[in-house]
Amino acid sequence: MRMLTNLLKSSNKTLHLPRLIHSREIYYYYYYYYYYYYYYYYYYYYYYYYYYYWNSTLDRHKCIESQS
């Protein structure tokens, strides 16, 4: 992940507007850009899913404890 972040930082420095005319550079630039955000979206989705699952198991335990 750190390598990808460094790659994005370096690409921001090297890919100036005049050089963005080349379609290949545009393609790779946006490919890494969307891959970076896709990774974070997946990470947060997993985090909230885990958080929801953890809360639901806690609620279930509370229910069982209150019934006993």
What's the whole-model pTM score?
0.27
Output the pLDDT for position 52.
Answer: 77
Output the pLDDT for position 17.
Answer: 47
For 30, other C-beta atoms within 10 Å of its C-beta total 10
Output the pLDDT for position 30.
Answer: 75
Report CA-CA distances (Å) from 22 to 11, 13, 28, 38, 57. 14, 16, 10, 24, 53
> What is the C-alpha to C-alpha distance for residues 32 and 34, in angstroms, rounded to an integer?
6
The residue ranking higher by pLDDT, 22 or 18, is: 22
